[in-house]
Amino acid sequence: MIIPNYRLGPIDLVTLLPYIAMLCIIGFILAIVPLLIWIERVVISLMQDRIGPNRVGPRGLLQTIADGIKLFFKEDIQPRAVDVRIYYLAPVLAMIPALTAGATLPFSTVRFRMEDGSVQTFPMVVGNVNIGILFILAMASLQVYGIILAGWSSNNKYSLLGGLRASAQVISYELAMSLAILSAVLMSGSLNLVHVVEAQMNGFWNWNLFAYPPLGFIITVIYLISMVAETNRAPFDLPEAESELIAGFHTEYSSMKFAMFFMGEYASMLVVSGVAVSLWFGGWTSPLPLLDFIPGFIWFLVKLFALFFVYVWLRASLPRLRYDALMNLGWKRMLPTALVILFLIACWNTLRTPQAQDANPVSEITMAPARAAEGER
């Protein structure tokens, strides 16, 4: 589908694209979270052979909306001995980085017919920066501050333990996660997520998942594991372990502050899943070239929901890891494996250096911000 580049004075659609993408990202995340919770509840109830939500709306579809409204109108309880400023800052810190990390995540392409009649493809991304992956890593690690500070400021021992667990867990898993991401960078030869996705175009056999077999597959599994750990979801939900620490870091949070933790958790699930889709599963591209007529964002959504389904699946089937086992898995198994794979990929790339030069083809996608900057000049 080709859209004419409408223009109103100095503003044209291409210039507006990052803003549209921003609205899409924020709106999507905020709007999709209730749906995700509903999907999770329905899927998990089907897996557990029970009925699941079915009271509010068709098949309980409006249940999460109702829950949200309830949370919104709940009394905002503030325990007596909390560290007030940090206590209020923590839920914000848990939610904002998760939303911000979506900024460099390309989720589709749009083709515009320019004034000169040429057709150009632009990525749907808020900030098409060259270090997009680093930005996402930075934001993902910022998010843990929300949890640690919540645990600290609540003045509750369970929360404190939850915060401690979260910090230890995120530190351990971020290493493996970064190494996995670095491997993808090596595979694609760019830190820009748009380029990474572009390198995986034209069919699923080009996905990084199947690159350098079997290294790509192993490193994808490592990324998926550390992605679950990073977002504190089952079986890695130690910081909020229901049966051990009651609710861990958000024991003392109620009302909208609790809802913000919840939103933050789901937003970060979406973002890390989106990163996984972009890095390993071909991003917005279709798995088969003949399916190219389907718009990119639909493919992106399909892959995103597939990964979300994996989250739910894990939650339904696996027991929770213990603290020390989690550390063992992170430091003794995943980190060395990821290091070895990174090394092997690097060696491989070095050995076929001539091709590696060409491995980064000239992009057919126009870098929208760059063009906008040129236009201003």
Partner 1 sequence: MTLESRELNPPSLLAQGVSLDPINEGTMVINMGPQHPSTHGVLRLVLELEGETIVSCTPHMGYVHTGIEKEGEYQTYMKAVTITDRMDYLSAHINNLAYSLSVEKLLGVEVPPRGQYLRVILSEIQRIASHMVWLGTHALDIGAMTVFFFAFREREKLLDLTEMMSGVRMMPSWIVPGGLRGDAPEGWLERCKKVMDELPYRFDEYETLIDQNPIWRERTQGIGIISAEDCYALGVSGPTLRGCGVPHDIRRAAPYCGFDQFEFGIPIGDYGDVYDRYRVRMAEMRQSREIIKQALERIPDGPINVSDRKVVPPPRYELDSSMEAVIHHFKLWTEGFHPPVGEAYVPVESPKGEIGFYIVSDGSNYPWRMHERPPSFMNLQALAKMCEGRLIADVVAIIGSIDIVLGEIDR
Q: Segment 18-77, which members bind partner 1 (CB under 8 A)?
A: 44, 47-50
Q: Is residue 241 a contact partner of residue 326, using CB atoms and an 8 Å limit? A: no
Closest distance to partner 1 from the beta carbon of 165 (Å): 8
Closest distance to partner 1 from the beta carbon of 41 (Å): 12
Check residue 316 for interaction with partner 1 (CB under 8 A).
Answer: yes
Q: Which is nearer to partner 1, 62 or 168 (CB)?
A: 168
Q: How far apart are the first and last CA of the chain?
A: 30
Closest distance to partner 1 from the beta carbon of 232 (Å): 13
Q: Segment 131-190, which members bind partner 1 (CB under 8 A)?
A: 157-158, 161, 164
Q: Is residue 212 a contact partner of residue 220, using CB atoms and an 8 Å limit? A: no
> What gap in Å lies between CA 111 and CA 329, rounded to an integer?
45
Vertex 354, ends 351 and 355: CA angle to 5°? 90
Q: Which is nearer to partner 1, 18 or 162 (CB)?
A: 162
> What gap in Å lies between CA 341 and CA 53, rounded to an integer?
44
Q: Which stretch binds partner 1 (CB under 8 A): 61-69, 131-139, 205-213, 314-322?
A: 314-322
Q: Which is nearer to partner 1, 28 or 38 (CB)?
A: 38
Q: Which is nearer to partner 1, 210 or 323 (CB)?
A: 323
Q: How many CB atoms lie within 10 A of CB 331?
A: 15
Closest distance to partner 1 from the beta carbon of 319 (Å): 4
Q: Which is nearer to partner 1, 21 or 245 (CB)?
A: 245
Q: Which is nearer to partner 1, 242 or 364 (CB)?
A: 242
Residues in contact with partner 1, total (CB under 8 A)? 30
Closest distance to partner 1 from the beta carbon of 256 (Å): 24
Q: Which stretch binds partner 1 (CB under 8 A): 206-214, 235-243, 331-339, 353-361?
A: 235-243
Closest distance to partner 1 from the beta carbon of 159 (Å): 11
Whole-Å CA distances, 331 to 22, 241, 324, 327, 339: 36, 21, 10, 6, 11
**Pairing of the two strands 2-4 and 7-8:** unpaired
Q: Which of 1, 55, 81, 243 binds partner 1 (CB under 8 A)?
A: 243
> What gap in Å lies between CA 206 and CA 282, rounded to an integer?
8
Q: Which of 76, 115, 242, 292 binds partner 1 (CB under 8 A)?
A: 242
> What gap in Å lies between CA 162 and CA 261, rounded to an integer?
14
Q: Which stretch binds partner 1 (CB under 8 A): 62-70, 125-133, 231-239, 360-368?
A: 231-239
Check residue 315 for interaction with partner 1 (CB under 8 A).
Answer: yes
| Token couple for 294 | 């389907």
> What gap in Å lies between CA 324 and CA 333, rounded to an integer?
13
Q: Segment 320-349, which members bind partner 1 (CB under 8 A)?
A: 320-325
The residue among 138, 226, 133, 221 whose CA lies nearest residue 182 is 133
Check residue 265 for interaction with partner 1 (CB under 8 A).
Answer: no
Whole-Å CA distances, 93 to 61, 84, 149, 259, 301: 29, 14, 9, 13, 26
Q: Which is nearer to partner 1, 231 or 366 (CB)?
A: 231
Q: Which is nearer to partner 1, 72 or 313 (CB)?
A: 313
Burial of 332 (0-12, 13-18, 19+ CB in 10 A): exposed
Check residue 350 for interaction with partner 1 (CB under 8 A).
Answer: no
> What gap in Å lies between CA 171 and CA 145, rounded to an integer?
11
Helix (H) or strand (E) holding 158: helix 157-188
Closest distance to partner 1 from the beta carbon of 53 (Å): 15
| Site for partner 1, rule CB under 8 A | 44, 47-50, 157-158, 161, 164, 234-235, 237-238, 241-246, 315-325
